[in-house]
């Protein structure tokens, strides 16, 4: 189902709601996380945030950020 079909179905049913961007489609949240984690917890590979996103895709995949200090900051910030 595409976006237009979903909107038609919701309108037909008389439903209203809020749509959220949860996959970096409209906002670049991945870049936010990579940029801030680099600044706070280091970047031994000296990659740009974009290069890290291409290499790891998600912050959970960056091996040197897998510790309790980083997890605590993410939980506090999220």
> For the chain, how far is it from start to end, CA to CA, in angstroms?
30
Outline where 25-78 has alpha helix (H): 29-41, 49-56, 68-77
> Phi and psi of 46, rounded to 5°?
60, 40
pLDDT value of position 21: 65
Residue 21: CB partners within 8 Å, gap ≥ 6? Answer: 27
Q: What is the pLDDT of residues 25-71, one digit of tens each?
A: 777 889 999 999 999 999 999 999 999 999 999 999 999 999 999 99
Q: Which residue has the higher pLDDT, 64 or 1?
A: 64
Ramachandran sector of residue 21 (left: φ over 0; alpha: ψ -120 to 50; beta: rest):
beta
């Amino acid at each position: 189902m595409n976006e237009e079909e979903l909107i038609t179905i919701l309108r037909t049913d008389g439903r209203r709601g809020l749509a959220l961007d949860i996959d970096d489609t409209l906002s670049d949240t991945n870049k936010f996380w990579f940029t801030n984690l680099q600044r706070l917890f280091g970047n031994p590979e000296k990659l740009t945030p974009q290069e890290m996103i291409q290499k790891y895709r998600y912050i959970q995949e960056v091996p040197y950020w897998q510790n309790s200090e980083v997890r605590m900051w993410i939980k506090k910030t999220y």
